[in-house]
Structure 1
């Protein structure tokens, strides 16, 4: 890069404030506010649009490293990483750390950015080592812990993920972090490959509820364990608790409750309880269970009466399909209206997801406690609406 181009770049950067502070040659000028992110973004975009990557790198090499210019280095490094040019970003951040003139207060920030470069490149071991260095720092301890938890989630190392998440709760105790820790404890309790080295699953699940009393997953897993021990009363109480924790997950509890009641012969007792729950937390799954039980213990006519009444109050495609099956039989004659309605309804149901994320809209046919798309915990719920619950 020739000298003229170097000076041109430097003049543009200084003239638009990209150096984010007072340059030594402009001691009497007022610096642009360092925290003006929108203005910085516009100015950097101008730089990236009008100059090649090689020119920008050469400019950075010729630029002193001091408190006025560090943010410029970091912003350009992050820009390269966001564009997928991880090697360039890594080189910028490595060079910054190697410069003896780097102000000490920026060391943690540069280290964190370099760790993000390694993560983007898939070099998890290197990223992990740098993030562990930052755990004890005041400014980047929480962010380092968050990234470490994500690494251990990715590697399915639940024991380490739980350990770091506990540290994170101590640094930054929020509802979201507690929810995350509760689910990590559930993962650890469910990890069949680690049964010999993990604590008692019940203990882990109870810890999950202590961190997040609304953790539906912990209640469902504890209910499964109670059922395995033959303690149907404890299992039933845990499953009924789900309706208080998050009624949207009621259908997950209903399926287990019905199986539990049939296994231990307590269907009649449970039916009365489920009718009361339905009045407060109606869902299609619960309605169809009640209809099925009504037919088993009373009559088909009473089951149809219940279904007719609820459909008028709360339209549901699944319930309508069930009504057609009950009234017309499972194989209605081809060409008839009931046959056509069932065909169309079945196609509509096949196309809609059984579960949907309330944050990003991801849909699927199975329950994911961690959304595969937006990576949030417990946001994928049974699909709601006329075609769902």
Structure 2
């Protein structure tokens, strides 16, 4: 039976006149929920919202759900003079990038981490793959760890932060990477080992809640899925769907290896950290350390090796063509960061970058480099 998939996408709420982030989240979520219920929710800042899909059997159905819920969010934004903008960090600033959302967990985070959260304005895409056995899920995460930097490079979509070019492809990854317990998960040898680590990190203060770690891969505490949280949110829903297909194939392949008795490769944490940094800096096209071998390889070569690794699972789910098309788009257009910079170069104003992101998020056509 094919593992079901689901996605959560986070967006900034950007004024269509000034292109600044606007703190309108609560009003827009209330309006959108009249149509889709809890498929739309608030986020860490009032200048953000989150959309999600129900569980889907196939990538085509997932893309339909994503397109539909994005459209609901867009329509709910219309009367506020804002639009949903899919970028890993805010291209321009604004009041909405600093107004905390109304949730006890967000307030607890500010008390715990203080000024480290002053510029924690990031938007991610979270992929859920059905893995009902938590023991299998935590060991499958060992197999995913070496591939996480590649997913950063493929999804990188945050070169700008509040009006400046950071020089990175995924500034969101840099922001997240400075926090304890907010990057790649540790290597574990069992579910009991995983639970001991999370309990110790909660006691240390590095983690708010042992049952809700924010690592880039985790068994979700509320639903029976392995959740992959490493990616910037893509502007184009087609890219989100294709990346989800690739993640599902990798999770299924990893779970199969766990059931065959393979607990996963104990990749060096420092090498993995270096690979994250290169992926965040360079994106696609670019190169970075292969965490399995330590050799620096083009991300395109790493991606094609990953596709070869999971090709049986892609073909079984009917996703091989979708993922192959994603690689062709990356080769032709680059990652989201390349496309944002292409908008800037072609049209010379940072506000034009926002306009292109708004159009692509709304489904009014992708933006390619000149």
TM-score (norm 2): 0.26
More strand by share: 2
Point out the structure with max Rg over C-alpha: 1
TM-score (norm 1): 0.25
